[in-house]
Amino acid sequence: MATLTYRTAGESHGTALVSLIEGLPAGLTLDMQLINGELRRRQGGYGRGGRQKLETDTATFLTGVRRGQTIGSPLVVEVVNKDSRLDDTPALLKPRPGHADLAGATKWLLTDARTTLERASARETANRVAVGAIAKCLLKEFGIEVVGFVVSIGKVRAEIPGTLAPADLVARRDASDVYCPDAPASAAMIELIKQFKIEGDTVGGIVETRVFGCPIGLGSCVHWDWKLDARLAAEVMGIQAIKGVEIGLGFASAQIPGSELHDAILFDPAQRHTANLGFVRSSNNAGGLEGGMTNGQPIVVRAAMKPIATLLKKAMPTVNLDTKAADKADYERSDVCAVSAAGVVVENVIAFEIARSMVEKFGGDSLTEMRTNYENYLAAARKLGTTTGEC
């Protein structure tokens, strides 16, 4: 089975963030405008802190690319840190509740949590956005679109129709300073963030990603760790500050009778030549996934981000790791609200996982081979149940 993998390296204040990607087919054109655009979006969103004014994230390819195209060998992408001062950063002896400080310092038998902070920092998500944006270049070749946005910040929740087309979602999201497609809710979210900033506190929220154009059958029901919903949940839960993930209606599914919950299957001959093969649904409560596999409907994933653990005016009680005396948590330069940025990260890790499932099902050494495999699969699927041989 062909596979697509990545690993990241780098510290928050180190020289650079570096990612190694293996399994991309040769001949894929890498859209630098798309990749750097995603990196810029990660740095944006109302409520971000001072670090974003210091960095200007752009991707540089160190290996695996020739004349703007992948060549089939491992690809290394670098994002340089302008605020590079790892050796000069002060010790962190007063761990912040809600962060990795205490657990990490204890794990590595230290009283200085600085080394844990440097790797656990959300700065690392620039790696995963770069990797996900590269994956989007592959998905574009198959007409698959991935769109992420903010659903709520604090108690302010948006109303975003499930019927919106990808272009409409993107246009409405990009018109908002908090990346929310609902304009009135977006304005209320900004006012809420302003209030939290005045109070020296932080606020979290919920983000959503929708994936359009996936063929039926990505993922598998054969093994638990091949199920696409399980893999998507793991990718999203691996993002800093994410505390919950749901697919489709998620937890609300437990409150609805099966006769009302499950999405009735219909057939529309006019859509037979699309990726859904003509199979449509009266609803999409399953969020595009059944039995660990795509069912041809848009994939819908939501993630809950907790408030950031570093507080400016309301420092939490903690213990000095050297003296064990009661103290107040250390302060690190931080954001009031990074929900908008989290939405970009969630969107891109989902893009990578969808690309990985595409490579597993249709993979070949080159993009040409992969596209041929994809088209042959759809042609064979369209013949099922017919006697006419039409494809």
What pLDDT, in 10s, does the model give residues 238-278? 999 999 999 999 999 999 999 999 999 999 999 999 999 99
The pLDDT-based confidence of 54 (bands split at 50, 70, 90) is low
User: Is residue 47 pLDDT above 90, yes or no?
Assistant: no
**What pLDDT score does 285 carry?**
96
Full set of structural domains in the chain with CATH: 5-383 (3.60.150.10)
C-alpha–C-alpha distance, residues 221 and 227, integer Å? 6
More confident residue, 316 or 313: 316
pLDDT score of 53: 58
Q: Assign residue 301 a region: left if phi > 0, alpha if psi is -120 to 50, beta otherwise? A: beta
Mean pLDDT (whole number) for 363-377: 96
- Cα–Cα distance for residue pair 30/59, rounded to 1 Å: 11
Q: What is the pLDDT of residue 50?
A: 56
pLDDT higher than 90, residue 123: yes
pLDDT reported for residue 387? 53
Percent of the chain past pLDDT 70, that is, above it, reads 95
Split at pLDDT 50, 70, 90, the class of 389 is: very low
Sign of CA dihedral 358, 359, 361, 363: positive
Share of the chain above pLDDT 90, in %: 87
Helix intervals (H) in 141-262: 166-174, 183-199, 228-237, 258-261
Query: For residue 298, is pLDDT > 90?
Result: yes
Confidence of residue 335 (pLDDT cuts 50, 70, 90): confident
Residue 388 has pLDDT above 70, yes or no: no
Block residue for tokens 């000095």: 320
DSSP for 98-126, please give it. Answer: TSSHHHHHHHTT-S-THHHHHHHSGGGHH
User: Does the structure show a pLDDT above 90 at 104?
Assistant: yes
Instruction: Among 12-16, 51-55, 297-301, name the one with the lowest average pLDDT.
Output: 51-55
> Confidence band (pLDDT; 50, 70, 90) for 391?
very low
Averaged pLDDT for residues 127-142 = 98
- What was the pLDDT predicted at 1? 57
**Which pLDDT band, with edges at 50, 70 and 90, does 200 fall under?**
confident
CA dist 149 → 46, 210, 348, 382 (Å): 13, 9, 12, 34
CB < 8 Å & 24+ apart, contacts of 191-197: 192/153, 192/154, 192/155, 192/156, 193/46, 193/47, 193/153, 193/336, 193/337, 196/47, 196/154, 196/336, 196/337, 197/47, 197/336
Separation between Cα atoms, residue 274 and residue 155, nearest integer Å: 39
CB 57 within 8 A of CB 126: yes
Instruction: State residue 158's pLDDT score.
Output: 97
Question: What region, left, alpha or beta, does residue 201 occupy, with left being phi > 0 and alpha being psi -120 to 50 degrees?
Answer: beta
Q: What is the pTM of this model?
A: 0.94
**Number of neighbouring beta carbons within 10 Å of residue 174:** 11
Q: For all residues of the chain together, what is the average pLDDT?
A: 93
